[in-house]
Structure 1
């Protein structure tokens, strides 16, 4: 095999390495400017932005579409958009209600809330898996199972039946799907 087979894209290799370094530096700078919340997954919107940033990063350094410069511009736009939406959510309760999903109660005090399971499209097998993952031995141990705004499922459980969840922890959780 001819050695030119491995080295026919010397310019592309140099461009990829340089582009990777530049995009990496840009992401570090943008993260310092906009804060680590830029990569949080606290809401569905945060998750979408994080995925989009990762996608643009990967596409920019792996191919010429989008170009490094266009990728950088898109990254700046995504970080800025994320910051503006976060600021809007922080300053306006109406905006927060419009943008964010509410966490939804799937189980309470050992009982499955089937209407919420059906409405949220969470299957019984998925619920069972999350209960096992949380080391639940008995359904009576489960105080609450919550479908979070990010799509994650939280399992609150204890073997001490006298303990109750504090209202603050459950304050934003919808008990019935609308």
Structure 2
């Protein structure tokens, strides 16, 4: 495809690169799986950023479509290998993945965990409002997930006797 870079209008090169990168990402995703773009761990997040950067570089012709496609396939293959290693080795999983962290246990805010996660109380309160929590008594648990998302597990005001199955919080760090 180097003949495109040498003889074509820069806009045509960009359009051809768009098509090439798009097709490369689709093929790689079909071969390796959608997990490549899910933010389960730090390396998944890095992969997403790196692919975005590579795509931008290809589209602005800083690198060739061939090099960009090889880089994307290589990164996605590494993600696939890392996911296998994570599944097979608890030690490896603990090296590359954060553990979910409990931020609220029922109506109790765990201030030490907020500090550890570098989350301000007002940010926690914002997440409670976004989850339609009207008072602290509705909260069953609030968890900072491995992806950086905050999950609010709560009951509606109509379901007063609802309890949280401990299995839901099995791998969540309480300290």
TM-score > 0.5 by shorter chain: yes
Q: Secondary structure at the match of 2:142?
A: strand
Distance 2:145 2:115 in 1: 16
Which string of whole-angstrom CA distances, capped at 9 and with x for unpartnered residues, describes residues 8-52 of structure 1? xx6111111111111111111101100111111122221221222
Q: Following TM superposition, by how much is the alpha carbon of 1:58 offset from its aligned partner in structure 2, in angstroms? A: 2.3
Counterpart residue number, 1:131: 128
Counterpart residue number, 2:4: none
TM-score by structure 1 length?
0.89
Distance 1:48 1:168 in 2: 30
Which string of whole-angstrom CA distances, capped at 9 and with x for unpartnered residues, describes residues 62-112 of structure 1? x12233222112111111111110111011111111111000000011110
Q: Which runs of 5+ in 1 are unaligned?
A: 1-9
Is residue 71 of structure 1 aligned with residue 93 of structure 2? no
Q: Secondary structure at the match of 1:56?
A: helix
Distance 1:33 1:14 in 2: 28
Which of 18, 21, 28 is 1:20 aligned to? 18
Q: Secondary structure at the match of 1:90?
A: helix
Q: Secondary structure at the match of 2:9?
A: helix
Counterpart residue number, 2:3: none
Distance 2:111 2:85 in 1: 35
Distance 1:14 1:86 in 2: 38
TM-score by structure 2 length?
0.90
Query: Paired residues, what number?
Result: 167
Q: Which moved more, 1:64-73 or 1:86-95?
A: 64-73
Distance 1:66 1:165 in 2: 52
Q: Which runs of 5+ in 2 are unaligned?
A: 1-7
Matching of residues 86-101 of structure 1 within 5 Å:
86-101=83-98
Counterpart residue number, 2:172: 173
Note the aligned Cα RMSD (angstroms): 1.5
Counterpart residue number, 2:163: 164
Structure 1 contact 44–151 (Cα < 8 Å) conserved: no
Counterpart residue number, 2:31: 33
Counterpart residue number, 1:6: none
Which of 124, 127, 143 is 1:146 aligned to? 143
Distance 2:45 2:168 in 1: 22
